[in-house]
Amino acid sequence: MEGTGKFIAIAGFRGVQIKGIDDLLNVARGRVKGACVQFFDANLIAGQEHLFFAALNALKAFESKTNISDSLAVETLLFASAQRQIRKAVELLGIKPGSPRIAVLVLAETQQDVAETLEIVSELIHGERDDDVIKLNEEKFEVIKRLFHVTDSELEARLEKEGLEKEALINLVIEHVALLSTQR
């Protein structure tokens, strides 16, 4: 991530079987050193750009000391969900027991730390790597539109030409993510 001193990885997994969220988070925190890891329900993510800009905004919040959370991982979740309350952010975008598709975001100081952390996470979640679960598709479109309170008129105003509805929604989600920093 240019200008931040951090490297990022965003990965998707399908066929995930997580029974205890707290257990997963505790084991991940115990095994991962020197990296920030956050898990998301991939069914509610509007593409890699969504998480990239959430991470970028979280880093900027820490830099400007406007962060809500003491944790970069949690701050990223807050931005990704466009929420100010941690509980609400977790309810909206956090993984739940039985979430079959998850997105993982890793931030670290080096590319090697990112790669090693992603490998550890892959072992812990017992899922098949599939970055397509992060992409915005027809199945997720209406759900994400409702989640971020995007109106039809807002979408139409952003739409440059027919057939680019997904791109317009992604841009609106990123805009909602960025607006969170103005509400602090």
83-110 residue pLDDT tens: 999 999 999 999 988 889 999 999 999 9
The predicted-structure confidence for 166-177, as pLDDT tens digits, reads as follows 999 999 999 989
Top CATH class, 7-183? alpha beta
Report CA torsion sign: 9, 14, 17, 18.
positive
The predicted-structure confidence for 48-92, as pLDDT tens digits, reads as follows 999 999 999 999 999 999 999 999 999 999 999 999 999 999 999
pLDDT at position 163 over 80: no
- Please, which residues have CB within 8 angstroms of residue 66's CB and are 6 or more apart in sequence? 181, 184
pLDDT at position 161 over 70: no
Residue 4: the pLDDT is 78
